[in-house]
Amino acid sequence: MRVLWCWGGGSSGPSSTDEYQLLFARRWPAVERRARVVHGKHYTAPPDADTVLSTFTSASCTSGSEHVTNVDELDSADPAQIELLQLTEPPLFVVDGCWPLVVLQRDNYVAGCLPFVETPPTPTDKSTALLQSPDVSSSLSFLEELLTLLSRLEGQSAAVVQSELSMFSSLACPTGVYDGLSYPHVTTLLTKGTDTSPVVMPAWRVGSHAEARPSLEFFITETVTASQQHPVDYYESMVVSGVVSCRAALAGKPEITATISSGTDLTRCHVHHCVQQSRSGGNSTQRTVTFIPPIERFDLLQYKVTLAAEPLQPPLLGSYEMTSRGDQSRVSFTLTLRRSDRYTGPPLESVEVVLPFFNRGCVSGQSLRPTAGTASAMRGSHVVVWRLDKHFSGKQVAASLQGELRFDVTARHQGMDDPFCTNVTSYADVRWVAQGKTLSNTFVNTDTVRIQPPLARGKVKAVVTSTLKSGDYRIWNVHGSSRQCIPPSPDREQNP
């Protein structure tokens, strides 16, 4: 960011400039000098605070006029019209030739900033691409945290507000680049102040871990969402998504480079706004990222598994049969679980199955016969819980549960109703966790991790933790309807 402004004293709705008072302003000379060098003859000096505020208030008061438009009108506008247009979601403005100017309002406060964009946008640029720019998106995040802090300081004197805002900007954005500090972390730092250490820490050493052992951790978490139903008239549907998170406890603000490899295509993935460079190097299953990590744990990369070479199969396969009698006050069911032959990952831990019975009332009687684990249904509830724990972690590959339930139809409330799960339409919700591997074989190559500048206390060994877990993992009753199960197409019937 090149410059920052904060105003207060106005109303929550459209207000005039006379109602607002400038609470705080800050410029980052290093970023401004970079903008002057990069933009050259196209450089435009930042506008003053009064001009920015008047543009924002006039646009807010002119609801429904030509000053409010949509993205398509903004993209097709000519240079003479661009300063008359405003993008309202999120609020981007053109003031005295400076674009894009970001301004947000919450309650009685207004905060605005001018992000530095490497290539000055022109009216022919797509606004959606501009909004996805890390400079603009990080500026929006910074203003949101700034307004959160201002809301907490409401009622304080102007001197206290200016002092706290100065401290906040020094901690969260010391060099003009927002490092992702959230409000709870800022509150902790503001509460401790300078009494925790006799030495004043430089602003660029935010989150220094000089007295602790430096560490670098990567967490890979894949979530399996599946829907199964037999007989063979239906095929299983499954979606696998993954997140690579990072937590860096390092002194200063070092630059980290790491290579992420996977068995899936990583060309269509989302990265955190702190990532400065992301490249594949000609290999779609490998991605090298360079980033300056924030203090807290964050999601470095998000991806979706798209393996076409060999179809994926859910780790646990199952069959669920449930029938009811008469007035639906009695049901009988059989649930069978089997570990997939294709699954070669780590042992499944903490396996638990929840069978809800909607639109019937509370359980008044039960007879449950599991071949492994324990099954129970508490009186007054409408669910059966089957705990298998680590049953599938050894040589055991199958387990089943049979049972009969009686329901008190008079003890029924809205929390037990579901508009879809009526009659024999029901499902079993399977929950499990596996540590040490993922379905897509995604991993972080620790040998390629580089930290610049190198730490004074020697090399830091990166630690990688992988977790595979279930999401919305359901097995539907064979005698009822189902969601997310995909009927076979004619081509698949002819070519099984």
Express each pLDDT in 195-209 by its tens digit.
434 444 455 544 444
Mapped onto helix, strand or coil, the DSSP state of residue 468 is strand
CB count, 10 Å around CB of 315? 24
- List strands edge to edge, sheet with 330-339: 316-325, 330-339, 398-408, 362-370
Question: From residue 8, how far is each of 65, 151, 274, 295, 486 by CA, in Å?
Answer: 26, 10, 30, 30, 55
Q: Which two tokens stand for residue 358?
A: 């909607």
Over the stretch 350-365, which tens digit does the pLDDT of each residue have?
889 999 888 777 888 8
Please state the rounded mean pLDDT for residues 228-252: 78
Q: Would you give the end-to-end CA distance of the chain in angstroms?
A: 58
Nearest to 60 by CA among 96, 17, 95, 6: 17
Domains of the chain, CATH where assigned: 3-192 (no CATH), 215-311+439-474 (2.60.40.1170), 316-437 (2.60.40.1170)
Q: For the chain, what is the mean pLDDT? A: 77
pLDDT tens across 271-300, in order?
A: 888 888 888 766 778 888 999 998 889 999
Q: How does pLDDT run across 131-179, given as a tens digit for each residue?
A: 557 778 788 888 888 888 888 888 888 888 888 888 888 878 888 888 7
Q: Which of 242, 34, 26, 25 is nearest to 135 (CA)?
A: 34
Flag whether pLDDT at 453 surpasses 50: yes
Strand partners, 335: 320, 401
Give the type of residue at 180: G
Q: What is the mean pLDDT of residues 307-327?
A: 74
Residues 6+ apart with CB under 8 A from 186: 145, 149, 168, 171, 172
Confidence at residue 26, expressed as pLDDT on a 0 to 100 scale: 94
